[in-house]
Chain A
Amino acid sequence: MLRQIEGSRAVAQTVALCRPEVVCAYPISPQTHIIEALGEMVKKGELSPCEFINVESEFAAMSVAIGASAAGARAFTATASQGLLFMMEAVYNAGGLGLPIVMTLANRAVGAPINIWNDHSDAMAARDAGWVQLFAETIQESADLHIQAFRLAEELSVPVMVCMDGFILTHATEQVDLPSQALVDSFLPPYEPRQVLDPAEPYSIGAMVGPEAFEEVRYLAHARQLTALGRIGELGAEFAETFGRDSGGLVHPYRSADADVIVVAMGSVLGTIKDVVDEQRDAGLRIGALGITSFRPFPIDAVRSALGSARHVVVLEKAFSVGFGGVLSTDVAMALSGLPVSVSTVVAGLGGRPITKVSLRGVFEAALRGESERLTFLDLNVALVERELERMALQRRSGPTAENMLRDLGVVASRIG
């Protein structure tokens, strides 16, 4: 059923259709509307049977989900940014125990400095925790991925986080097709736990594993994710058959078959990228794009085959590894190793800075000219940073960097002392 609906609410409605049994969350922008909507549905009795628990921290949220899942209930939570970091111990714990929890990550920058707007630095922090990480491009896909996520998680006993760009997707209103309960039920059977806390059949879950078996346990987690690689594509196809539209899957190539340059990205920025690609294709430039939906497990083979025949690949990502460079681009470069394809990294959109078509055009044209630098920070105010670096070199007590630059920009007018 088509509805004009805010992204968060679309996700909430869809999650509700997945019949979660325990929903717990701690408020943090920009996931709040998802959880508020679910809470209201539970309180009204529209979502039942379901326990909605207001917890005292994100760490508690993931812990409650862990407990609920271990006791055989379908568990859901949502967070972002600082909240994800606060629950990180539990995130790894859920990954290690193989509990099929589904979590919405409303991507937001990680401080310091505190910033509530969108980028992918939070997701990157959980990259190695053993969770499946799926990036949605649109609001529709954000909602659809949750249905696939529960199915995938429970089938393989692995937790799944669905990443959707904070504010950009969570707080935008669009026309979204919300499926019927019957349709979702046909795709998502009830949860059959692999192991469950049951006095009738007791065992101990969460043992301490020493050097003699730890590697094997971790390998098995890896093996599960490699299995997921296969299943993600299959589930995407099954979803298309059942729900009548494409959502999910591992990667989405766009006009990349004969491209000279291919731009790789994840999430909502792909919309802007495709617009620019279209413009440039109309101008006869051989450029294409590749959207990566499944970041973990990383679809090495699919990426290699999609990018292998290009001359150059630009990886545009909303995160970076401080002191080195790109995160996604490192994975992409690894996928292309041995092939004569050069890779450059463009770090863009940090802390919610808008990625404009003008800026993108500049990046793509440089790439087409073969003039890409290894690492570019899109739209960086070079003069500003150079002034600050100079200041830091002159004085030991140069003051807080952020405040200094804001003052330079004129954002902060006063100076005290």
Chain B
Amino acid sequence: MSVRFYQVGSFAVGNRLVNRSDRTVQSDAERANSLTSGHRACQGCGEALGARYALDAAMRATGGQMVAVNATGCLEVFSTPYPETSWQIAWFHSLFGNAPAVATGVAAALRVKGRSETRVIGQAGDGGTVDIGFGCLSGMFERNDDVLFICYDNEAYMNTGVQRSGATPPAARTATTEAVGPQPGNSFGQGKNMPELAMAHGIPYVATATVADLHDLEDKVTRAMELHGARYIHILVTCPLGWGSAPGDTVKVARLATQTGLFPVFEAEHGEVVRASPIRRPAPVEEYLRLQGRYAHLFDAAGNPARPDIIAALQAMADRNIARYGLLETEAVAP
């Protein structure tokens, strides 16, 4: 019976029992630290974590041959206030809505100079991807430019004070969808499923990931860097400030987003879903909602559901995702 079993091997960052080559990039003391200490992100910032995770994996996959183009937003602001930058990679910031187009330009320049082995990453928050950046992103997808675009989705315009974006989920409180009135928080609309929109462009690779599953995130970035053409990765990143969660809960909250089914984790190629990560420890959406102040209005002072109708609607959304992506069909187990 040859069973490989590594105690925490495929879930934790590293493990002395696992071959170094099977450990995450993050476990390596020589990791690139694309985003290093001294940045001004809030305590427990999920975006800072997600950015380092993704870019370090990309640095490893490309042997350090990459440049990053960053849209305006939290990530850009907390990392490059004059006179300090916490980026250790070649990095460029232009505007809020043009990161995909600027990345296209960088890729074109590298190509024309015969340096296509230097790869290009464009990155933005949900605002810069789903709203103001959408036109440029769609253009980049349509041209199949050789850019990996990463969206760090914290589900609102956080840097400007937590205002609603096209990615804000229903019922969530933001400064422009306050938790007041008969329909507190963000309205229930059709949503704007950015990964599906990316898939609709038929680009070579689309994936979703979170900061709660490092192995999965690194695998996806690595996979993306093996391919050429337009690629898109959508990473859910907890924002303790905007979501009203405890700073230490950042990974836990993101994990619950996946385990409830609210945030499905999957990969698609050329418009077809090819793989979905099964839910390992199913949880009801309530467990996820309770950890966040932006959903506090759904519960009363004693902690009982005050708006069971809204909670049920959110649960229905989660259930639909589970059905749609088959998240409970296979046993999720890993050594």
**Which residues does A use to contact B, with CB under 8 Å?**
21-22, 24, 49-51, 53-57, 59-60, 63-73, 75, 89-90, 93, 97, 197-199, 201-210, 212-213
- Interchain nearest-CB distance for B279 vs A (Å): 38
Complex interface bits, B89-115 against A, C-beta within 8 A gives 1, otherwise 0: 111111101100111111111111110
Inter-chain contact A63/B136, CB cutoff 8 Å? yes
- Interchain nearest-CB distance for A46 vs B (Å): 15
Inter-chain contact B104/A197, CB cutoff 8 Å? no
The answer for the CA separation of A67 and B102 in the assembled complex, in Å, is 4
- Given A57-B139, A68-B109: A210 and B81 interface contact (C-beta under 8 Å): yes
- Given A21-B113, A49-B112: A63 and B82 interface contact (C-beta under 8 Å): no
Query: In the complex, which residue of chain A has the Cβ closest to the Cβ of B80?
Result: A207
Inter-chain contact A199/B139, CB cutoff 8 Å? no
Residue B87, interface by CB 8 Å: yes
- Which residues of chain B are within 8 angstroms of A210 by Cβ–Cβ distance? 81-82
- Which residues of chain A are within 8 angstroms of B15 by Cβ–Cβ distance? none
The answer for the CA separation of A197 and B77 in the assembled complex, in Å, is 19
**Which residues does B use to contact A, with CB under 8 Å?**
64-67, 69-70, 76-77, 79-83, 85, 87-95, 97-98, 101-114, 118, 135-136, 138-139, 142-143
- Given A60-B139, A73-B112: A66 and B80 interface contact (C-beta under 8 Å): no
Inter-chain contact A206/B112, CB cutoff 8 Å? no
- Interchain nearest-CB distance for A301 vs B (Å): 34
- Interchain nearest-CB distance for A217 vs B (Å): 9
**Interface of chain B, main secondary structure:** mixed
- Which residues of chain B are within 8 angstroms of A68 by Cβ–Cβ distance? 105-106, 108-109
Inter-chain contact A206/B101, CB cutoff 8 Å? no
The answer for the CA separation of A417 and B177 in the assembled complex, in Å, is 42
A-B contact count (CB 8 A): 166
The 7 closest A-B CB pairs, nearest first, are A67-B105, A206-B93, A56-B139, A73-B109, A63-B101, A63-B98, A71-B109
Find the residue from B92, B93, B105, B136 having the highest chain A CB count within 10 A: B105
- Which residues of chain B are within 8 angstroms of A55 by Cβ–Cβ distance? 101, 104, 139
- Which residues of chain A are within 8 angstroms of B110 by Cβ–Cβ distance? 71
- Which residues of chain A are within 8 angstroms of B142 by Cβ–Cβ distance? 56
- Which residues of chain A are within 8 angstroms of B88 by Cβ–Cβ distance? 202
Q: Which of A22, A56, A199, A208 contacts B66 (CB 8 A)?
A: A199
The answer for the CA separation of A270 and B87 in the assembled complex, in Å, is 52
- Which residues of chain A are within 8 angstroms of B85 by Cβ–Cβ distance? 203-204, 207
- Which residues of chain B are within 8 angstroms of A54 by Cβ–Cβ distance? 143
- Given A56-B136, A199-B66: A63 and B95 interface contact (C-beta under 8 Å): yes
